[in-house]
């Protein structure tokens, strides 16, 4: 399984994968049609190949295209996939949303990076401040075999480790579990919490507290609070007064039923909204 066709190779995510795959042991074909994407490939001294030429010969086809277009692109490419081909998506949304076309003789494999942990530390400064991952900082990945023979899983995982390198470890989960992680946990829940944190900081600044003081105070407390909440300080606990403050704050900030954003059925609703084509 050495011939890889990367669809959307010149896109935002495609370029990240291109940079990691171009010097790998895989025999690569890069498919891109947008002028901007072709220009980004040219800057990397890469010549694009047509889908009609690359896909029928590919052992593995990577769909590095936005979620809202994956269904349309996969349907267009479906007749070109050779029997036994592995089709890789970079996100569970299209799979859970039912956008991947049916074909029994191909494999669907899904993988997504965790991004470097907030507790990650790299000795090299460039590595340390690679927030996204897949460039220089270490990160973990999650992988799922949606359909296909079991022997295709290690092939997909090994490719994912190259795509998202450097990788510390790979977690095998189901596609449904991956959707709970994203969008459910990482975007619908955590994204909303992060935006609310920023709004709270801005609100304090509006009250007249100097911006620099607010930023330093807030970021420092985020650091220590995360360390305490996620067991990074052996024996570390919040103060009794802080626990009392948390009990005051939670019912004011969160609805009692907030956990429904992690319910698998609600996650499917989130995916449906996120993958709708623009009208």
Please check the confidence at residue 1 and state whether its pLDDT lies above 80. no
Q: What is the mean pLDDT of the chain?
A: 96
Q: Which domains does the chain have, with CATH numbers?
A: 3-173 (3.40.50.720), 188-275 (no CATH)
So what's the pLDDT on residue 278? 77
Please check the confidence at residue 266 and state whether its pLDDT lies above 90. yes
pLDDT in tens, 65-88: 999 999 999 999 999 999 999 999
pLDDT in tens, 80-126: 999 999 999 999 999 999 999 999 999 999 999 999 999 999 989 99
Which sign, positive or negative, has the C-alpha torsion 113, 117, 118, 123? negative
Please give the Cα distance from 16 to 266 (Å, whole number): 31
- For the residues 253-275, what does the mean pLDDT come to? 95
**Which of these, 123, 157, 125, lies nearest to 140 by C-alpha position?**
157
So what's the pLDDT on residue 277? 79
So what's the pLDDT on residue 243? 95
- % of the chain residues with pLDDT over 70: 99
pLDDT in tens, 199-236: 999 999 999 999 999 999 999 999 999 999 999 999 99
- For the residues 135-156, what does the mean pLDDT come to? 96
- For the residues 8-26, what does the mean pLDDT come to? 96
Please give the Cα distance from 142 to 177 (Å, whole number): 10
So what's the pLDDT on residue 276? 85
Strand 27-31, strand 167-172: pairing: unpaired
So what's the pLDDT on residue 134? 84
């Amino acid at each position: 399984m050495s011939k890889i066709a990367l669809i959307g190779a010149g896109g935002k995510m495609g370029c990240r994968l291109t940079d990691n795959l171009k010097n790998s042991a895989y025999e690569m074909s890069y498919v891109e049609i947008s002028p901007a994407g072709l220009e980004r490939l040219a800057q990397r001294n890469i010549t694009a190949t047509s889908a009609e030429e690359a896909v029928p010969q590919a052992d593995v086809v990577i769909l590095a295209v936005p979620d809202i277009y994956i269904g349309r692109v996969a349907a267009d490419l479906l007749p070109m996939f050779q029997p036994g081909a592995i089709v890789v998506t970079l996100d569970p949304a299209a799979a859970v949303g039912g956008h991947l076309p049916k074909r029994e003789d191909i494999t669907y494999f899904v993988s997504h990076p965790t991004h470097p942990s907030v507790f990650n530390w790299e000795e090299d400064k460039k590595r340390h401040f690679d927030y996204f991952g897949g460039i220089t900082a270490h990160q973990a990945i999650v992988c799922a075999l949606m359909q296909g023979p079991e022997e295709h899983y290690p092939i997909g995982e090994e490719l994912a480790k190259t795509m998202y390198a450097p990788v510390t470890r790979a977690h095998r989960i189901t596609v449904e579990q991956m959707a709970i992680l994203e969008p459910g946990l990482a975007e619908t829940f955590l994204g909303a919490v992060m935006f609310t944190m920023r709004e709270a900081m801005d609100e304090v600044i509006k009250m007249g507290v100097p911006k620099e003081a607010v930023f330093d105070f807030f970021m420092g407390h985020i650091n220590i609070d995360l360390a305490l909440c996620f067991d990074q300080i052996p024996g570390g606990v919040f103060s009794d007064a802080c626990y009392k403050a948390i009990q005051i704050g939670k019912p004011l900030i969160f609805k009692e039923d907030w956990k429904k954003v992690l319910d698998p059925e609600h996650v499917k609703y989130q995916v449906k909204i996120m993958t709708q084509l623009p009208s």
